[in-house]
Amino acid sequence: MTKTTFDLVVVGGGPGGYVAAIRAAQLGMSVALVERAELGGICLNWGCIPTKALLHSATVLRACREAAHYGVAGAGEARPDLAAMVARSRKVAGRLGQGVAHLMKKNGVTVFAASAKLAGAGRLALDNGATLSAKHIILATGARARELPALPVGERVWAYRQALVPAEIPKSLLVVGAGAIGAEFASFYRAVGAEVTLIDMTAEILPQEDAEISALARKAFEKQGIRVLTQCAVTSSSLTANGVKVALDQQGKRSELEVDRVIVAAGIVGNVENLGLEQSRVKVEKTHIVTDGLCRTGEPGVYAIGDVAGAPWLAHKASHEAVLCVEAIAGKSVHPIDPLRIPACTYSYPQVASIGMSEARAREHATKTGGEIRVGKFTFAGNGKAIAMGEDQGLVKTVFDAKSGELLGAHIIHPEASELITGYGVAASLEATEEDLMHTVFAHPTLSETLHESVLSAFGRALHA
């Protein structure tokens, strides 16, 4: 007979949910995980992982086309095999999904393939008719793509799922939304040959990033042939014989654009429906569950983590919250998550990565508090490893409190930005000052030397600028 009473039940098997289940099991709790679709959630199956697989295929394709520059003959005629790229992407996601299933079994987590809703204190009703009881319940139900009334998703208007498994490369493509997801799809489809237009309602692409970095990203995208339109919105759309015609409004200037396909990447909404929240004290604001610093909701014994609990909508934030939440439940001493110490990465070409405050936000903060900031910059054109790799375009930017030496923010644009940002993440977590960073020995030749040089630059000591 299947067990139905547990110390903890987790609803949702994404990077927040399955990590919560593992950590709870490690701490000796009896744990169940309820997942209505695929273990690993959207991130593993239809988000983070398969997009990175496709983007890596684009990187290999780009390298082959540029092989002659590196003294490699015969690779310049490389062309994309879209079916093989997609098949590899799905295989990667499938392998990791099997890995999560193995981890559940290894850690003794009981998995229920079902949907669940709150059914009173410490109880969950599953759609298969079962009822689970638990001292603690964690909601990790994630989020889904925001729908736009002007662009209903269908055969020619895609959300991320359709964009990950295309049957063919569209000749022309409109990407609506120039945040991380939109930028990544724009990069991939441009690399494989589509004519791409990328639009956003804000004044710049990647609007959550430092303005200088966003401007450099836009310049790099346009150099690749991506048409970028900012302060631009879609007001309506209609299907044509072979594609989609969209009406655009760019600061009052109206125009029409006809493309083969459209990708909608205009943000996300939390999966808060059908969870039984209406009969509880759980509060929802703007489609996200309200929590405190320890992931507790207004309902005793009910917690929420990850995308359903609000920004930043990042898998690693969800996993960190999972551990924090479970350890708090277990009575361990934990600290609320600090959003300024969560790195953000966009895996476009080039990549963009950041942590902490932008320069503008840091200046605003300094003005309010009567402080001052120092800003350091170092371009990859001065880095030996970057030049050797043929990837010498990009910038590392650091922002410090002038008096205390605290690292307030760090911003990188470069094809390897996502791998480099963790250096600053470790520094921020350890509360390293500019002096600590300047006295750190960085291996040569490495791209990470740019991290060092940017810090030196902030204090007038750059060696290679």
**147, 153 contact by CB (below 8 A):** yes
Cα separation of 352 and 217, whole Å? Answer: 8
Phi, psi angles (nearest 5°) of residue 273? -80, 155
**40, 142 contact by CB (below 8 A):** no
Q: How far is CA 21 from the centre of its chain?
A: 22
**454, 437 contact by CB (below 8 A):** no
**178, 207 contact by CB (below 8 A):** yes
DSSP string, 272-317: -TTSSGGGSS--EETTEE---TTSB-SSTTEEE-GGGG-SS--HHH
Q: Considering only CA atoms, which of 262, 246, 422, 399 is closest in space to residue 342?
A: 422
Cα separation of 248 and 440, whole Å? Answer: 51
Residue type present at position 263: I
**195, 170 contact by CB (below 8 A):** no
Catalytic residues: 444
The Cα diameter of the chain in Å comes to 70
Token pair recorded at residue 23: 């950590």
What is the residue whose two structure tokens read 């981890």? 103
Residue positions counted in the chain: 465
Residues in the annotated binding site: 52, 177-184, 267, 307
Residues in the annotated binding site for FAD: 52, 307
Residue type present at position 109: V
Cα separation of 366 and 345, whole Å? Answer: 26
Cα separation of 75 and 52, whole Å? Answer: 23
* DSSP character at residue 149: T
- β-pair partners for 179: none
Residue type present at position 379: T
Question: What sections of 314-381 are H helices per DSSP?
Answer: 315-329, 359-369
Angle at 79 between CA 76 and CA 84, to 5 degrees: 135
- β-pair partners for 255: 248
